[in-house]
Structure 1
Amino acid sequence: MRAVVAEEGMSTAEYAIGTIAAAAFGAVLYGVVTGDSIVDALTKIIERALDTAV
């Protein structure tokens, strides 16, 4: 006897979860990049690089 397994909609559910995960990752990444600590760190790096070039 063969077992009948319904896998209809499996791909759609996987795509939906992947899309939600990608959107959540993008939101977290945006929050990290636009945070004050990252902006301050990048500003210090740029200022230090410009100070040594003079």
Structure 2
Amino acid sequence: MKEALRKLKEINLLNGNVVQFTNRLKMLYKQLEIPLVKCLKKQMIKILKAFQHIQLEV
């Protein structure tokens, strides 16, 4: 019985760690989301401009 209780405590600790970890990941994502979107938009614009030049040459 003691062993089972000990295992349960370990599992609860692990679950707590996983929750903390996922919360940290969500926070990091929120912090990075805006810079990432801005960067992707810039890259997309560059790519689109490059394609426009290719079409003009043809």
Query: For 1:1-41, what per-residue CA distance to the aligned partner results, in whole angstroms no more than 9, with x for missing partners?
Result: xxxxx424011011100100000001110100001xx1213
Q: Which runs of 5+ in 1 are unaligned?
A: 1-5
Residue in structure 2 matched with residue 24 of structure 1 by the alignment? 20
Which structure has the larger Rg over C-alpha atoms?
2
Aligned pair count reads: 47
Question: What is the Cα-based RMSD across aligned positions, in Å?
Answer: 1.7
Higher helix share: 2
Sequence identity (%): 9
**Larger RCO: Structure 1 or Structure 2 (Cα < 8 Å, ≥ 6 residues apart)?**
1
Q: Which runs of 5+ in 2 are unaligned?
A: 50-58
